Amino acid sequence: MSRRAVQAATAVAVCAAAAFVAAPPAAALSPDQLRPNCTWASEADEAAAVQTCAVYSAAMNRIVLVQIRPSTLAAGSAEHAVYLLDGISVPDTRSTWADADSGALAAYSNSYNLVMPAGGAGTWMTDWQSTPAGATGTPGASAEWETFLSTELPAYLADDFSVEPGGNAIVGLSMSGGPALTIALDHPEIFTVAQSLSGFYQTNNPVGWFVIPAIQSYVTGIANGNTAMWGDPLGPTSTWSAHDVSARIGEITASGQRILITTGIGVPLPQDFLIMAITGNPVAFVSGVAIELGALASTLALNAQAVLYGLPVDFSYTVGLHSWTQWSANAGANAAAVESALAAADSPTTSSTAPRTSTASAAAIVSTTAVVTTTPPVQTSAAVSSAGTTATGSSASSGDAGPVVASASAESESAVSSTVRQTSTTPSVPSADPILAPGTDSASVPTASTAH
């Protein structure tokens, strides 16, 4: 071969190599491209890239609809997901998280796949020992939700959305707040971060044994939750303790997981009064206050426990009722907390052993309400003097109906300063069904203030 030919061949090779190096990374499947067994439920969903996917559950022998917003990461990137679990009134066809008014779609970045399962109303998103039944004893749908969320759904996401088996987050609201934490504790290989919004955490006690089945019966018509879900509380097959967050929260010391817990303080936002005036439904307003006060008491008790044992749990408190007005107003802060925790868990230089707890005494919370303004959310920090550590607050939000428990002791509460975030009073309010008004026609309620 002549020298000129060699030079020409070399030039071609160099140009080709340069073009290869300079080429941008190949794009992953477009979020606008439907994955197997997925469809656009509406034009709004298509515009928001939210796919409704039919995922078969062998454990429940049925199809579960899951709304999924894929990430926009480049091909070859590590894909992770944030699972968003709904409240007690979630329908079988759609998760409330998938609605634009929930705030989640705008709050979470496109770096994560948002996974929003529909269904599971009243089931506490757990594996039942026997099938839920109605008042007449007629069996309802099989409930094996933890199996679905920890085994079947991750397998589907890995196959069709390339989601990694580990390094994911799970977020629960109200009814699913506590279960999100116990599911994460059961499966640390899948979930490194768990967040609970307005949840209930002390379930294995006479209050929990009575209140949870009563709520299931009143809101969803499930009549055998007292024994069918986790067994007879006093019987040999009882698993109530395994689903009690307060009994298991110490496990995070060994697992290295990040736990984020938020709740409202039961003080209404201005839009809550507006919604009550529009709907003429004071019952939803009053119940929203009462339920969130129950969540607050439960959270304070768990917060005191975490401070006492120096557990690395983030707690924060905000103004609002047990309603989507609160959760949507704080969606940005809550999403930022989850994404920050995921990034920290993925960083080899981040320590997961230092306590990150903060709490607020009941008296401090009450005094704080006098200075609530309409400024954007502000998060403050509190020094935990009794533990000898500095605690930082994280974002707040809230959940579903659950048992009301005793608040933390005055001794534990007095050892800490309060952390309360002021909440924006933006007028955007998502749709939702009143939790204590089963049978209410959501179409007749233009905006809602009470939780799922």
Each residue's pLDDT tens digit, 251-307: 999 999 999 999 999 999 999 999 999 998 899 999 999 999 999 999 999 999 999
CB-CB contact of 421 with 396 (8 Å): yes
Q: What is the mean pLDDT of residues 17-27?
A: 41
Selected residue with higher pLDDT from 16 and 257: 257
Q: 301: helix, coil or strand?
A: helix
d(CA 127, CA 121): 13
Choose the weakest-confidence range: 1-15, 166-180, 204-218. Answer: 1-15
Assess whether pLDDT exceeds 90 at residue 18: no
- State the burial class of residue 388 (Cβ atoms within 10 Å of its Cβ: 0-12, 13-18, 19+): exposed
Q: Are 368 and 418 in contact (CB under 8 A)?
A: yes
Of the two residues 4 and 128, the one the predictor is more confident about is 128
Residue 30: pLDDT band (50, 70, 90) is confident
Predicted confidence band of residue 28 (pLDDT cuts 50, 70, 90): low
CB-based contact 180:170 (threshold 8 Å): yes
- The answer to whether residues 299 and 406 touch, using CB atoms and an 8 Å cutoff, is no
Report all structural domains of the chain as residue ranges with CATH numbers, in order of start. 34-444 (3.40.50.1820)
The pLDDT score that the predictor gives to residue 293 is: 98
Q: Rg for the chain (alpha carbons), in Å?
A: 23
- Contact predicate 334/397, CB 8 Å: yes
- Rounded (5°) CA angle 349-352-355: 130
Look at phi and psi of residue 40 and say left if phi exceeds 0, alpha if psi is from -120 to 50, else beta: beta
Per-residue pLDDT, 427 = 36
Looking at residue 206, its pLDDT comes to: 98
- pLDDT confidence tier of residue 448, bands split at 50, 70 and 90: very low
The arithmetic mean of pLDDT across residues 323-346, rounded, is 95
Tokens of 32: 């606008």
Residue 138, pLDDT above cutoff 90:
no
CA distances 280 to 89, 273, 284, Å, are 21, 10, 10
Q: Where in 186-249 does DSSP place strands (E)?
A: 191-197
Res 7: pLDDT = 52
Name the average pLDDT for the chain.
Answer: 79
More confident residue, 377 or 227: 227
Least confident of 123-137, 141-155, 210-224, 405-419: 405-419
The per-residue pLDDT for 389 is 34
Q: Report the C-alpha gap between 76 and 97 in whole angstroms.
A: 28
Residue 141: per-residue pLDDT: 84
Other beta carbons within 10 Å of 5? 9
For residue 365, pLDDT over 80 is answered with no
Structure pTM? 0.76
For residue 194, count CB atoms less than 10 angstroms from its CB and return exposed for 0-12, middle for 13-18, buried for 19 or more. Answer: buried
